[in-house]
């Protein structure tokens, strides 16, 4: 029995030693990991912006008188030269004053000059639009044969849309000039009457002496400046009109970011109230910056970036003037790059580095980065597709540390 006791004693001693050795062995550190893969990478410049109606028109009183109460409300639809906005009635014989007649005649001449200037601009804009459309069609045919670079086709598309916008603006300018000419001539008729003895005492005569103001453009009422009946002077604002479906977006970005935004850059508009982002494109980066005080009280030089919608108005039926949006302006993108999560990156000896898992140990690897955004960065060297890296390594992880993927 003595040998049995010795065997039992040796087994107990061996178990104690094994338990001590197991207890002294380092335990693996639990870490989160990510696999290096190839995929798309989009680098954006993000900032808040607001929508604005591209063309708006403020209707002003062409002459002094008593303004009839306006029955239109913001949002009401108006039709050019058909919808009656309001009426100005005479208050006293001042409408027949020689000075007023001279001023009305001067307004007619000025309005005629504006029409003369606007018509050639419209013709030039139409010719430029037709030329850009022809060139765009030619490049589209060449693109189908892969005989032209995609970048050239995109530039021509932007130029064509810009020409369309210029033509619309020139057409709008002609309509406004013609309307102002009609208003000036109408005012001249009222002020050049030779029958100075007639007074608008009866309802019929009052209607003949009243001055109707019709809508100069088609669209909707944006604001009503003078809702109640009142006495107005020439030039007083009455209504603001515009087309709420013809919107653009104004975003002010830092001047250091503005210089990196290419013309025609793709834009994704988020946080506008809809479920899906809206597609848009940069039309203009304004050449002049302005100073703006940030929320932290820091002076910043910022630049306005003007963005056009690509999606039709039907995709944003409730989006109106001066609504807030969040714009992601794409300054660089690629469909196939080697990327790593920014959560795996840290600085080591003035270089970027990551921890790669090799044989269940953390291995320090220095990497060279290219483009990056808030979530991912482009890997130029140091990693290969399929490598497993540690995300958000803490102070417990160092080179040679035994690690284990969390959840495995």
**Helices (H), ranges, 222-380:** 255-258
**pLDDT of 304:** 96
- Distance CA(89)–CA(112), nearest Å, equals 25
**pLDDT of 119:** 85
**pLDDT of 189:** 60
pLDDT band, residue 12 (cuts 50/70/90): low
- Distance CA(71)–CA(69), nearest Å, equals 6
The residue ranking higher by pLDDT, 90 or 289, is 289
The per-residue DSSP string of 295-334 comes to TTS-EEEEEEEEEEE-S-GGGSTT--TT-EEEEEEEEEEE
Query: Residue 262 contacts by C-beta under 8 Å, 6 or more apart in sequence?
Result: 282, 331
- Sheet containing 77-78, strands listed edge to edge, beginning at the edge strand earlier in sequence: 56-60, 237-242, 219-224, 77-78
**pLDDT of 405:** 86
CA distances from 172 to 55, 73, 95, 230, 242 (A): 8, 23, 30, 30, 11
Mean of all residue pLDDT scores within the chain:
84
- Kindly report the pTM of this predicted structure: 0.62
Mean per-residue pLDDT, 21-26? 54
| pLDDT of 20 above 80 | no
**pLDDT of 370:** 93
| pLDDT of 138 above 90 | no
Task: Tell the residue number behind the tokens 């990991």, with chain if given.
Answer: 33
Question: What are 191-234's pLDDT values in tens digits?
Answer: 544 444 344 444 444 445 788 999 988 889 999 998 888 889 88
The residue ranking higher by pLDDT, 324 or 110, is 324
Question: What are 28-51's pLDDT values in tens digits?
Answer: 888 899 999 999 999 999 999 999
For residue 71, report the phi and psi dihedrals to the nearest 5 degrees. Answer: -95, -5
pLDDT band, residue 158 (cuts 50/70/90): confident
Query: If DSSP codes are grouped into helix, strand and coil, which group holds residue 153?
Result: helix
For 213-252, b/e burial (b = at least 16 CB within 10 A) is bbbbbebbbbebebeeeeebebeeebbbbbbbbbbbbbbb
Query: If DSSP codes are grouped into helix, strand and coil, which group holds residue 101?
Result: helix
Question: What are 303-356's pLDDT values in tens digits?
Answer: 999 999 998 888 888 888 889 999 999 999 999 999 999 999 999 888 999 999
For residue 22, report the phi and psi dihedrals to the nearest 5 degrees. Answer: -65, -35
**pLDDT of 78:** 93
């Amino acid at each position: 029995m003595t040998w049995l006791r010795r065997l039992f004693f040796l087994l107990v001693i061996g178990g104690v030693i094994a338990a001590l050795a197991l207890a002294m062995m380092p335990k693996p550190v639990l870490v989160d990991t990510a696999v290096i893969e190839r995929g798309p990478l989009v680098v954006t410049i993000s900032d808040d912006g607001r929508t604005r109606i591209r063309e708006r028109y403020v209707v002003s009183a062409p002459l002094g008188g008593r303004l009839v109460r306006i029955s239109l409300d913001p949002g009401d639809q108006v039709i050019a030269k058909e919808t009656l906005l309001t009426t100005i009635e005479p208050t006293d014989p001042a409408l027949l004053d020689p000075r007023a007649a001279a001023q009305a005649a001067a307004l007619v001449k000025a309005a005629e000059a504006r029409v003369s200037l606007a018509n050639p601009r419209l013709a030039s804009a139409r010719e430029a639009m037709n030329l850009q459309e022809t060139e765009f069609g030619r490049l589209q045919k060449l693109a189908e044969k892969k005989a032209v670079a995609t970048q050239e086709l995109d530039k021509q598309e932007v130029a064509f849309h810009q020409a369309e916008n210029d033509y619309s603006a020139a057409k709008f300018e002609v309509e406004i000039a013609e309307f102002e000419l009609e208003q000036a001539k109408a005012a001249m008729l009222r002020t050049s009457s030779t029958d100075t003895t007639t007074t608008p005492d009866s309802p019929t005569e009052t209607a003949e002496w009243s001055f109707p103001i019709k809508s100069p453009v088609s669209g909707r009422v944006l604001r009503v400046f003078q809702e109640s009946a009142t006495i107005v002077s020439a030039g007083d604002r009455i209504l603001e009109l515009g087309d709420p479906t013809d919107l653009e977006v104004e975003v002010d970005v830092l001047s250091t970011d503005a210089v990196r935004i290419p013309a025609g850059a793709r834009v994704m508009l988020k946080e506008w109230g809809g479920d899906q982002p809206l597609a848009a494109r940069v039309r203009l980066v304004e050449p002049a910056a302005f100073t703006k005080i940030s929320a932290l009280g820091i002076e910043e030089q910022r630049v306005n970036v003007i963005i056009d919608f690509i999606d039709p108005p039907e995709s944003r039926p409730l989006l109106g003037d001066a609504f807030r949006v969040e714009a992601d302006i794409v300054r660089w993108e690629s469909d196939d790059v080697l990327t790593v999560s920014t959560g795996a990156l840290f600085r080591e000896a003035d270089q970027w580095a990551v921890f790669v898992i090799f044989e269940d140990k953390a291995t320090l690897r220095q990497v060279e980065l290219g483009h990056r955004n808030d979530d991912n960065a482009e890997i130029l060297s140091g990693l290969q597709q399929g490598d497993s890296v540690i995300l958000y390594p803490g102070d417990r992880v160092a080179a040679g540390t035994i690690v284990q993927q969390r959840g495995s």
